[in-house]
Amino acid sequence: MDYINYILMALIVIFILQLFIPTKGVRNITTSELKNELKNKDKQFIDVRTPGEYKGFHIHGFKNMPLHQLAQKSNELSKEKEIVVICQSGMRSQKASKLLKKKGFKNITNVKGGVSAWR
């Protein structure tokens, strides 16, 4: 019985750690680094927050593609261009980065701290 509890605890710890470990092959930048990249027309800027959050405030140049729709809408994105992903705090954009990576996108950048850090 104790053996099963140890296995369950280990699985829970692994699951929690995976939420915070950056996705392999995804570049992470700060909002101050983002300011230098916004002028680059060869990049795709994606905001994965809800339409309501996006409407309330968004960074000029970012297109709204809510996380729950990203799998279906990813075909609208070019695999040839870098994708810069942002959300409110950095958690959803990290999930979006993993999703895009699984869909075959290679050049993905996650904005740490999200829109909250931008303000």
Q: Using the predicted structure, report yes or no on whether residue 1 has a pLDDT greater than 80.
A: no
- Residue 107 · residue 100 · CB < 8 Å: no
Residue 5: per-residue pLDDT: 87
Residue 27: per-residue pLDDT: 94
Residue 11: per-residue pLDDT: 87
Residue 18: per-residue pLDDT: 67
Q: What is the mean pLDDT of the chain?
A: 92
Q: Per the confidence metrics, is the pTM higher than 0.85?
A: no
Residues 8-65: tens digit of each pLDDT: 888 888 777 666 666 678 999 999 999 999 989 999 999 999 999 999 999 999 999 9
DSSP character string of 3-40 = HHHHHHHHHHHHHHHHHHSPPTTEEEE-HHHHHHHTT-
Domains of the chain: 24-118 (3.40.250.10)
**Active site members:** 87
CA distance 92 to 7: 28
